[in-house]
Chain A
Amino acid sequence: MMDKTLPQFGPRESMEYDAVIVGGGPAGLSAAIRLKQRAASEGTEVSVCVLEKGSEIGAHILSGAVMDPIAMTELFPDWKSRGAPLDVEVTEDRFLFLTEKKAYKAPNRLLPECFQNHGNYVVSLGNVVRWLGAQAEELGVEIFAGFAAAEVLYNDDGSVKGVATGNMGINKLGEASANFQPGMELHAKYTLFAEGARGHLGKQVIQRFDLLKDRDAPTYAIGIKELWEIDPKMHQPGLVIHTAGWPLDSDTYGGSFLYHLDNNQVAVGYVVGLAYQNPYLSPFEEFQRYKTHPEIRKFFEGGRRLSYGARAIAAGGLQSLPKLVFPGGALIGCDAGFLNASRIKGSHAAIKSGMLAADATFDALRAARQSDELAAYPAAFKESWLHEELYRARNFKPWMAKGLGIGTLMVGIDQLVLRGKAPWTLRHRHADHECLKPAKESTPIVYPKPDGKLTFDRLSSVFISNTNHEEDQPAHLTLKSRTVPVDINLEKYAGPEQRYCPAGVYEFVRAENGRDLLQINAQNCLHCKTCDIKDPTQNIVWVTPEGSGGPCYPGM
């Protein structure tokens, strides 16, 4: 696209900043805020802008979420009086092992620390991020929502120069329409990538600078979430329930969360590790089925579903964390992969990593440096509580990947007996896309039909995610090869993209000539990035659509 229009309309205009931050989530906004705070306290100026591809800050944010306020307190010691939307303190923790009909509650004294949530808050991360956005603007950060960073720009010496926003008004054929507006170049002394898990530019930077050298393969999960308004009689603000077990088989890593917010709202979701093997597995349908469990459905009967969404989650932990810096910038938040899988929490880590990177950036700027490596950031991370926390949690996901039985036992030993200080570190040996077994070695799974009250189909779900993309634009889900979807994905793996995509983007249809065809309904895309991760031959490449496209979550 870029190449077609640049000769015609280029060169693009550019704007200069000290720091450009790609992504207005908890990591990006915290970094922006920290930069401005440091500048204010030291009486200097620093120019910072944040690019957000969602139509507003928070539009693409989706998380459980239970938030550990530790990093928020470091960023804003007075967050309470500033009115941060951390209102519902966790009042009760339940961990349930589910079988098809029964639920067994784990005694709280046996729960490792990572599953204990006292002192934490049930939040809508979307609302927290909107609040952070307002704080950032007040401090003078320029926030550009509705603009996707589509391209990394490099200096002649190979260091990152900044990013370019995508062109607007390109039609389906890749040509400029009447309303065409070329992208802008944003040049920066340092560029921080904060796109979240499997960031589209982060992925390119990781490859270009070989940042995963000597690290384990990154591994991910998909989280699917619904927001409900339930019967007030069943509502218990601050109640936090996690489950493991049914409906997943014991070899598949995954589990659920169910958080009671205020105003009779409940956030419920399901997380499935993307290293799953059976191509017939559908995370979306596992989630729908999970809600029918007697211990779970009781909360939702008589309630109504308000919203829906999905997002891939970085779950590799410390072993899979890439090198964080490269000449001209850094990866922060889950663009690097700071989520603590054992606590299923990442927002505190995102905020902390953003602050650490911002400190390193500010110090470098003050020393009149630019476009070099911010070595102080990984060094500060190593010394931080975040490193300590991730170190303790490092074996959780690898143990759980060995199955629920042994996983639970070994996590118990690892966390309760050894307190995370085990003398071993388990490795992630395979990338998620390498894990699928051929369909003929796998058992098809028959999922129950949705009832439209408690369980739903994909399309009615996508509808309430407020997802929209400008219709006349090229599909942003690109294929390296046009033949691979049918010849390999459908032939060998029974078309897994139809099942792992939580938005019904991928459909195999039969053409008039009797040939199978992959149809891509790009307009449905929730920007979860699961296809980019799980596609067995890595043939699907997610790129940014026109800015402001995608979901518009109402506080997920």
Chain B
Amino acid sequence: MKVLVSVKRVVDHNVTVRVKADGSGVETANVKMSINPFDEIAVEAAVRLKEAGIATEVIAVSCGSSQSQETLRTALAIGADRGILVECEGELQPLAVAKLLKAIVEKEQPQLIIAGKQAIDDDCSQTGQMLAALCDLPQATFASKIEYQNNLLTVTREVDGGSETLELVPPAIVTTDLRLNEPRYVTLPSIVKAKKKPIDVIPANSLDVDIATNLEVLKVSEPPARKPGVKVGDVNALIQKLKSEVNVI
């Protein structure tokens, strides 16, 4: 079974995100960028399927600037076999990414597509679902467990109030939740190997896909600063404050 994993380059999760002074977006200059953590989980899931003898090939695909090659190298170091970069400059919104991925899916014909449930930069949680709709494929989002037997995928999903188990007939799309796995530490030899694995660079405009943005960002601003709390001496003082200052009782 051929597995396609989509990965996105995002501001590293340890970085304190800063809004640009002019409010046009988030500062990314000189900021550490990494693979989206949910996508890292997706790569790990695919590689484990390969190690279990279920997947035959794991292909990592990313859409974005040439710097996304670094993100693909991370996926290759975890264990993906080859990478595809759909290269384009400028902003890509989820629908555009889903359309680009659809073109790659048509080309590669994977049996399973694994994506992160959302990217930690815009938190959209849309690309996987849009891709499923565009390709008319079954989907299981927010997966915390993936099993494969007799040409049937059994996926446990994290849903409000518990978990839900779905059976899907491949080809299918799965998006990963946090509990699916804990990605491995990459090793030095695997980084060296990853440098030698192939990455195909495909210009986005060669795919005959409309990637124009149809949403316009008007303004990005930081949330209002939280007011400092106070310590109260006893319950009466607390009730007094809730009544007189917070006006909730």
Contact = CB atoms under 8 A, between A and B. Distances in A.
Are A and B physically bound partners? yes
Interface of A: 13, 15, 55-56, 59, 124, 126-127, 130, 142, 144, 147, 165, 168-169, 178-179, 181, 184, 186, 229, 264, 306, 463-464, 466-468, 552, 554-555
25 contacts: A15-B188, A15-B189, A15-B192, A55-B12, A55-B32, A56-B32, A59-B32, A127-B30, A142-B192, A142-B195, A169-B185, A179-B184, A179-B185, A181-B185, A181-B187, A184-B187, A184-B188, A186-B188, A306-B18, A464-B16, A466-B14, A466-B15, A466-B16, A467-B14, A552-B15
Nearest to B14: A468
Given A179-B184, A181-B185, 5 more contacts: A144-B191, A184-B188, A466-B15, A467-B14, A554-B27
B30 A126 contact: yes
Interface in B1-60: 12, 14-16, 18, 21, 27, 29-32
Contacts of B32: 55-56, 59, 466, 552, 554
B182 interface: yes
Which of A15, A181, A264, A466: most chain B Cβ within 10 A? A466
A455 to B, nearest CB: 16
B184 A144 contact: no
B30 A555 contact: yes
Contacts of A306: 18
B16 A168 contact: no
Given A15-B189, A142-B192, A124 B184 contact: no
A178 B182 contact: yes
A55 B32 CA distance: 9
Contacts of B182: 178-179
A554 B15 contact: yes
Contacts, number: 55
Closest 6 CB pairs of A and B: A555-B30, A168-B185, A181-B185, A468-B14, A554-B30, A184-B188
A464 B222 CA distance: 15
B188 A264 contact: no
A55 B185 CA distance: 13
Nearest to B225: A452
Given A142-B192, A466-B15, A552-B12, A181 B184 contact: yes
A384 to B, nearest CB: 32
Contacts of A126: 30
B95 to A, nearest CB: 31
A150 to B, nearest CB: 13
Interface in B150-192: 182, 184-185, 187-189, 191-192
Nearest to B188: A184
Contacts of B21: 229, 264
A352 B21 CA distance: 38
A186 B192 CA distance: 13
A13 B185 CA distance: 15
A53 to B, nearest CB: 14
Nearest to A465: B16
A168 B192 CA distance: 18
Given A552-B32, A554-B30, A55 B187 contact: no
Contact of B188 (A56, A124, A147, A229): A147
A468 B32 CA distance: 13
A466 B16 CA distance: 6
Contacts of A178: 182
B30 A124 contact: yes
Nearest to B191: A144
Nearest to A137: B195
Contacts of B14: 55, 466-468, 552
Among A55, A126, A178, residue most surrounded by chain B Cβ atoms (within 10 Å)? A55
Contacts of A13: 189
A144 B185 CA distance: 13
Nearest to A469: B14
Interface in B44-81: none
A413 B200 CA distance: 65
B48 to A, nearest CB: 13
Contacts of A56: 32
B75 to A, nearest CB: 15
B223 to A, nearest CB: 15
Contacts of B184: 179, 181
A165 B186 CA distance: 13
Nearest to B182: A179
Contacts of B188: 15, 144, 147, 165, 184, 186
Contacts of B189: 13, 15, 184
Nearest to A555: B30
A181 B188 CA distance: 11
A211 to B, nearest CB: 29
Contacts of A142: 192, 195
A467 B12 CA distance: 12
A57 to B, nearest CB: 10
B24 to A, nearest CB: 14
Contacts of A463: 16
A306 B182 CA distance: 32
A126 B185 CA distance: 25
A555 B27 CA distance: 12
A538 to B, nearest CB: 31
B78 to A, nearest CB: 12
